[in-house]
Amino acid sequence: MSGEQVRPDELTFEEGAYLVRLARRSVEYYFEHGKRMPIPSDAPEGLLRPGAAFVTITTYYGPEARELRGCIGYVYPVKSLVETVIDVAVEAAFNDPRFPPMNRNELPRVTFEVSVLGPLEPLPSTPEERVKSIVIGRHGLVAKKGFLQGLLLPEVPVEYLWDEETFLAETCVKAGMPPTCWLDSDTEFYRFTSRAWREKTPMGEVEERDLRREYESLIERYGSKRER
């Protein structure tokens, strides 16, 4: 592995679609062989550079009805992007502590989504500037203080129709801190950009999500944030 971190904005649609299919292949391989899938020979060269990514698995009930089944990722580019997706797909399927391990008969009923993360960027220390630094649908957040750390992907505030302050507060909660921790300058906050690709239906075509458009459409439909 060599080179600079893969940034979300440099990926082609085809590369994003490849990563989604790779996530599914990784879990299928694990079911078949009981071990991690090796780097496939068809991996695009650009995806062999370091990369940070999350894999989200959802049980599919319809285009607007998906239920979280597992989500695990690497915040930092500790491996090549291909290796990262292979690893975290298996972790999301079998080792997310919120859910029991996936069984094989679920594969035709779940969709895979891959979010490729950019580098972390520190937010200002004042609450007002932190709020102004966030764009819902574009940024994910990391809160960190001492040994506590929590991350929320850009997809999360879109799904729940959070505003910027709620997004900050919920990131505090994710990190195991009070929801007001974002008002404290001693709590470190970072933002990151990402792009997300997912299966439209289980084992189906891949689409890239336009999170900002999704957010605006949901605001028009519901008028205010939904309850978590």
Contact assessment for residue 66 and residue 111, using Cβ atoms and an 8 Å cutoff: yes
DSSP secondary structure letter of residue 32: H
| Chain segment 149-191, per-residue pLDDT in tens | 999 999 999 989 999 999 999 999 999 999 999 999 999 999 9
The domain 121-191: what is its CATH number? 3.30.1490.150
Single-letter amino acid, residue 32: E
Determine the Cα angle at 209 with ends 73 and 46, to 5°.
60
Mean pLDDT over 140-151 rounds to 96
| Owner of token pair 């080179």 | 3
Structure tokens at 175: 């990190």
Range of lowest pLDDT (1-5, 147-151, 193-197):
1-5
In 63-166, beta strands by DSSP E: 65-73, 79-80, 110-117, 121-122, 139-145, 148-152
Structure tokens at 185: 């300058």
CATH superfamily of 8-117: Hypothetical protein ph0010; domain 1 (3.30.700.20)
Domain ranges, ordered by start, for the chain: 8-117, 121-191
pTM for this predicted structure: 0.90
